[in-house]
Amino acid sequence: MLSSTAKNLYWLARYIERAENTARILEATNRIALLTRGRPQGGAEWLSVTGIYGCEMALRERHANPGLEELMHFMAFDEHNPSSIYCGVRAARNNARAERNNLTTDVWENLNGMWLELQSMARQGGPGGDWHGFLDWVKKQAQLVTGAAQSTLLRDEAFNFLALGNFIERGDSTARILDVKYHILLPKGEPVGGSIDYYHWSEILSCVSAFRIYRRVYASAIEPWRVAELMILRRDLPRSLHFCQRQVNFHLEELAEAFAARHEAHRLSGEIYSQLRYGRIELIFQNGLHEFLTDFIQRNGRLSDQIERDFLMK
């Protein structure tokens, strides 16, 4: 397989996953902003989104006094914001167009249809205030693309590079959500377990569609250490760090078998996976949740860079 082909497939998956994650974050942020309206900190929840994507300065350059509505447009339709849903889907579609021969008709048609419909909405200036409907549509369309890939693609090198991009991006997003939403969004002076605290932890779970899963697994009130354990160490939660890294490790092993060669990326992946597989939430909190998540994000980024150097001719 050409390195350019592998690169297009890897980033196709990353861009689609990024668009879906952005929709999830915006949906949860919009909901928590409505729930906490009128509280002293009620208007600041949306600022956490700029912390996740590091785009506060760019947003303020577009809008002198931005609010929730301006943020939604900026993260959904701004064609100059590389983290926007619009830019993510556009980039994924461009990569898919270059690799039509490595994708099935189902994958291409779902992705192309998503892009054409999104373009139409952008020309009309957005969803007309129906942000809930729009964000739900983005999630469903992204899942149609990834679902088509899961159910129709041959399990070859092309599929492995798609899966690598998907889970590298998902792990990064989960870590950023958990870090920023708790360590930046939680108001100073609020008691742990208070009403604001409950809303924010509920929002974190909603970002990864794990609110009902939490109730099923723990059957208790929302507790910070249990939320963190669910999102970091559970091997059976599809958006946990453990699950994502287990998948990355698996697909790198598949590539090692296909190419009869191992690289530095395999070693880095094994290190991260071992830390998550044998980790204990008590030790993570003892050493600092923020420090653990920051370290994971940095190591995940180094792994992504190494994958590009080893396979994608960066």
Work out the pLDDT band at 208, boundaries 50, 70, 90.
confident
Burial string for 272-293 (b: 16+ CB within 10 Å, else e) reads bbebbeebebeebeeeebeebb
Q: How far apart are CA 289 and CA 295, in angstroms?
A: 10
Structure tokens at 226: 């249990």
Q: Please report where in the chains the tokens 């059957």 appear, as a residue.
A: 219
For the chain, the residue count is: 314
- Percentages helix, strand, coil for the chain (3-state, rounded to 5) are 75, 0, 25
d(CA 313, CA 263): 13
**Band (207; pLDDT cuts 50, 70, 90):** confident
Confidence of residue 37 (pLDDT cuts 50, 70, 90): low
- The per-residue b/e assignment along 194-224, b for 16 or more CB within 10 angstroms, e otherwise, is eebbebbbbbbbbbbebbebbeeeeeeebeb
- The mean-pLDDT minimum among 11-25, 92-106, 164-178, 216-230 falls in 216-230
Span 264-298, pLDDT tens digits:
999 999 999 999 999 999 999 899 888 999 999 99
- Cα separations in angstroms, 251 against 8, 72, 186, 276: 17, 35, 37, 17
Over range 82-95, report the average pLDDT.
96
Q: Kindly state the DSSP code that residue 187 receives in the 8-state scheme.
A: P
CA distance 287 to 202: 24
Spell out a b/e string for 102-115, using b for 16 or more CB atoms within 10 Å of the CB, else e.
bbeebbbebbeebb
Q: What is the H or E stretch that residue 59 is in?
A: helix 56-62
Separation of alpha carbons 77 and 71, rounded Å: 10
Give the pLDDT of residue 284: 92
Give the relative orientation of helices 289-311 and 241-259 as an angle to the nearest 10 degrees: 20
Neighbours of 116 (CB within 10 A): 10
Q: What residue type is 135 in one-letter code?
A: L
pTM: 0.90
Express each pLDDT in 64-75 by its tens digit. Answer: 888 888 889 999
The CA-CA-CA angle for residues 174, 240, 227, to 5°, reads: 85
The number of domains in the chain is 1
pLDDT, greater one: 28 or 121: 121
Residue 198 CA to residue 224 CA, distance in Å, equals 9
CA neighbor of 224 nearest in space, from 179, 255, 261? 179
Structural domain boundaries enclosing 171: 3-311
Q: Per residue in 131-184, pLDDT tens? A: 999 999 999 999 999 999 999 999 999 999 999 999 999 999 999 888 877 665
To the nearest whole number, what is the mean pLDDT of the chain? 88
**Alpha carbon separation from 166 to 30, 37, 231, 244 (Å, rounded):** 25, 35, 17, 9
pLDDT over 80 (residue 215)? yes
pLDDT for 305 equals: 95
**E strands in the chain:** none
